[in-house]
Structure 1
């Protein structure tokens, strides 16, 4: 009996680990998502933007998705909220009052590649959580994907 319980616990532990790895992105996965989005945008910008915004399954990995802005803070593609596309979000603040889109644009112009901290709604839990966004400047755009701190 004890062996069966240990086996059951091991199976449950494996499934819980698998689920969390599939659901919650890592920093490496965010960097890979940005690289993938940049390659797609370079290949066919309009198709990439449509797929990202249309929540094509190749652009959604658990809580990970890309977002693309122009350098004035206008959303060009958004992997979780199509209603944001075309909106100027340069003055958008997180719950702590941080102008995170403005900071993102400023960092893109000054650094090119960077990680940024702010707070945002997690698409899995629907709670506001600390988030880290990895971004890279591409021509007159900034391409990002982020991870939530849990």
Structure 2
């Protein structure tokens, strides 16, 4: 009986090993985040705002990959959330007063980057990771098109 239990436990252990790299690979990369923003901007230019925001909000759509999702906001002080692939409850809300774990007004920073002359860049802040449930460092790539910004963040 002891040998049988050892064999079962060993089989279970080795069957789980291939999943460890797969779980680690579930984190999106900076390149994947910027590529996703390039794709959503091309989609926006081809299809307009209404169809794009619907596509971003689709939980099984093309703008969600691994732990990455796109969100969009109006480029202006206090601008509202236009679309959000990670949390649809945020749509229509102004998040400019939202702070991260260190008290940083990260949504204001995102809007400042979008409103800048370059209209694109990275914003760093701390945010709860929905997978690990831990407060983690996050970096979000933001890019403006017209009076809208699109953003996608990675956990580091």
Give the TM-score, by structure 1 length.
0.84
Ranges in structure 2 where 5+ consecutive residues have no aligned partner: 1-9
* More relative contact order, 1 or 2 (CA 8 Å, 6+ apart): 1
Asked if 1:105 corresponds to 2:108, the answer is no
Unaligned runs of 5+ in 1: none
- Partner Cα distance (1:143, 1:86) in 2: 15
What is the DSSP-based 3-state SS (H/G/I as helix, E as strand, rest coil) of the residue aligned with 1:94?
coil
Give distance in 1, aligned partners of 2:21 and 2:59: 25
Displacement of 1:13: 5.1
User: Do the aligned partners of 1:114 and 1:134 also contact (CA within 8 Å) in 2?
Assistant: yes
Please say if residues 63 and 122 of structure 1, whose CA atoms lie closer than 8 Å, have aligned partners that are also in contact.
no
Question: Structure 2 matches for 1:1-150, cutoff 5 A?
Answer: 14-21=18-25, 23-44=26-47, 45-72=49-76, 73-110=79-116, 111-149=118-156
Is the 8 Å Cα contact of residues 54 and 82 (structure 1) preserved in structure 2?
Answer: no
Runs of 4+ residues over 6 Å off in structure 1: none
* Secondary structure, aligned partner of 2:100: coil
Count of residue correspondences: 141
TM-score by length of 2: 0.81
- RMSD, matched Cα: 1.8
Q: Give the structure with higher Rg (CA).
A: 2
1:137 is paired with a residue of what secondary structure? Answer: strand
